[in-house]
């Protein structure tokens, strides 16, 4: 398995896709939104909209992102 994120946890969450919710912002299980182009990581805020907080460090392993 190829790992392109800082750790297994981030790999899992950044790549997580849900069968039920097409929009990641609708899915309560989706925590991290990853922008492939900008290489940006965001923490999804489930407030019914599409807000997220950009994060500079991995919440699991603490690596700079």
- Which residues bind to Zn ion, rule: CB under 5 A? 6-7, 10, 18, 20-21, 27, 29, 58, 60-61, 63
Strands (E), 1-65: 32-35, 40-44, 52-54
Residue 31 CB, nearest approach to Zn ion (Å): 11
Nearer to Zn ion, 51 or 61 (CB): 61
CB 36 within 8 A of CB 44: no
Identify the helix (H) or strand (E) that includes residue 9.
helix 8-15
Residue 37 CB, nearest approach to Zn ion (Å): 20
Residue 60 CB, nearest approach to Zn ion (Å): 5
């Amino acid at each position: 398995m190829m790992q392109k994120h800082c750790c297994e946890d981030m790999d899992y969450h950044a790549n997580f896709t849900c069968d039920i919710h097409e929009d990641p912002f609708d899915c309560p299980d989706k925590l991290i939104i990853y922008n492939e182009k900008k290489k940006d990581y965001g923490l999804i805020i489930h407030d019914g909209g599409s807000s997220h907080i950009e994060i500079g460090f991995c919440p699991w392993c603490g690596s700079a992102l």
